[in-house]
């Protein structure tokens, strides 16, 4: 087998159907199998997969243990296939749509770059805009500082201030980066065997950055391939969860503590921790206000 595809789903049945149809409609001379891990959805997603895509390996998780947890359920099965272990594994979000040649083109890219531990395509939002998460620098203390305090937004073309999302780079340029997005992350089998599975400390967000960090620390490279375009609706699973905003900033804190805390000066440490707490707190407050407004509107304004 050339490729194993892992799709984690949480309450995105209709998008998952479209995603799977695009996967099975892929063209090219390669072999692949699909694992769908349903994270305790309540919208009959698993039933849809079983009925309409019986060729897929369906894993029904009894709990929503998060993105890393769900991916690892499938990765353990894949790595236990013995002589049938695929050359590459693709983490793919359920809210993506693949053009027919995307998988073949990405496999060809990986084959032409044996030093690549992971690679990702140009992810494009429904609006046509680039999904900025598809090529990233690691959130080092200084990059996180620029992001948290708005300097990356104020100076998007600055190689210094805009390193968090690399907005100073040409989207048409294929380039080595620190990380690509777990929404479409093709990973070399040997890299997984060397660095291990995803860190389940990350519930959602940050696990792709951490995986890429460990790969690069082990000597692998990570690439953004601008030649392949994939549509990413983005946020369709996370909008089902009120934990999303909290988990984004929690992931930032976990990554910082794991990889940078020991070498960060105390003054910068407190600025970063304070910035994460402030931005995370504001995001949670905004979510609470929206939730209260929605409840009020559904009640017809009755006290």
- Looking up residue 240, the CATH number of its domain turns out to be 3.90.550.10
- CA distances (Å), origin 265, targets 54, 260, 278: 54, 10, 20
For the segment 181-203, the average pLDDT, to the nearest whole number, is 96
pLDDT value of residue 294: 52
Confidence grade of residue 209 (pLDDT, cut at 50, 70, 90): very high
For the segment 117-143, the average pLDDT, to the nearest whole number, is 94
For the segment 35-39, the average pLDDT, to the nearest whole number, is 97
pLDDT value of residue 38: 97
Q: Is the pLDDT of residue 295 over 50?
A: no
- CA distances (Å), origin 139, targets 73, 87, 249: 27, 29, 12
pLDDT value of residue 282: 65
Q: Is the pLDDT of residue 280 over 70?
A: no
Provide the domain count of the chain. 1
For the segment 54-75, the average pLDDT, to the nearest whole number, is 96
* Owning domain of residue 199: 3-298
Write out pLDDT tens, residues 19-35: 999 999 999 999 999 99
pLDDT value of residue 194: 97
Q: Do residues 261 and 269 make contact, with C-beta atoms less than 8 angstroms apart?
A: yes
For the segment 177-182, the average pLDDT, to the nearest whole number, is 97
For the segment 106-113, the average pLDDT, to the nearest whole number, is 98
Q: Is the pLDDT of residue 300 over 60?
A: no
pTM (predicted TM-score): 0.86
**Do the domain assignments include residue 43?**
yes
For the segment 285-302, the average pLDDT, to the nearest whole number, is 53
Confidence grade of residue 299 (pLDDT, cut at 50, 70, 90): very low
**Do the domain assignments include residue 171?**
yes
pLDDT value of residue 189: 96
Q: Which residue has the higher pLDDT, 284 or 102?
A: 102
**Do the domain assignments include residue 262?**
yes
For the segment 200-209, the average pLDDT, to the nearest whole number, is 90
**Do the domain assignments include residue 130?**
yes
For the segment 108-127, the average pLDDT, to the nearest whole number, is 97
**Do the domain assignments include residue 221?**
yes
**Do the domain assignments include residue 303?**
no
**Do the domain assignments include residue 292?**
yes
Beta bridge mates, 188: 88
Confidence grade of residue 125 (pLDDT, cut at 50, 70, 90): very high
Confidence grade of residue 64 (pLDDT, cut at 50, 70, 90): very high
Residue 205: both structure tokens together: 């967000």
């Amino acid at each position: 087998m050339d490729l194993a595809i892992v799709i984690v789903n949480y309450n995105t049945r209709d998008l998952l159907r479209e995603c799977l149809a695009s996967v099975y409609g892929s063209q090219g001379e390669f072999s692949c199998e699909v694992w769908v891990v349903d994270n305790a959805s309540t919208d009959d997603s698993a039933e849809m997969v079983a009925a309409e895509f019986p060729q897929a390996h369906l894993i029904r998780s009894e709990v929503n243990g998060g993105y890393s947890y769900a991916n690892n359920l499938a990765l353990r099965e894949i790595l236990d296939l013995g002589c049938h272990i695929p050359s590459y594994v693709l983490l793919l979000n359920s809210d993506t749509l693949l053009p027919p040649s995307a998988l073949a083109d990405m496999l060809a890219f990986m084959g032409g770059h044996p030093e690549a531990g992971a690679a990702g395509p140009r992810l494009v939002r429904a609006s046509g805009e680039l999904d900025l998460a598809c090529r990233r620098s690691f959130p080092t203390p200084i990059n996180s500082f620029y992001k948290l305090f708005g300097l990356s937004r104020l100076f998007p073309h600055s190689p210094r201030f805009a390193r968090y999302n690399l907005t100073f780079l040409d989207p048409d340029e294929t380039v080595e980066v620190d990380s690509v997005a777990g929404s479409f992350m093709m990973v070399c089998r040997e890299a997984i065997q060397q660095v291990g599975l995803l860190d389940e400390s990350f519930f959602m967000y940050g696990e792709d950055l951490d995986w890429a960090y460990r790969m690069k620390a082990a000597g692998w490279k990570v690439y953004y391939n601008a030649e392949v375009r994939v549509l990413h609706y983005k946020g369709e699973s996370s909008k089902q969860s009120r934990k999303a905003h909290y988990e984004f900033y929690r992931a930032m804190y976990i990554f910082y503590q794991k990889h940078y805390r020991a070498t960060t000066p105390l003054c910068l440490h407190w600025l970063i921790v304070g910035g994460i707490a402030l931005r995370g707190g504001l995001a949670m407050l905004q979510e609470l206000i929206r939730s209260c407004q929605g409840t009020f509107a559904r009640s017809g304004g009755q006290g």
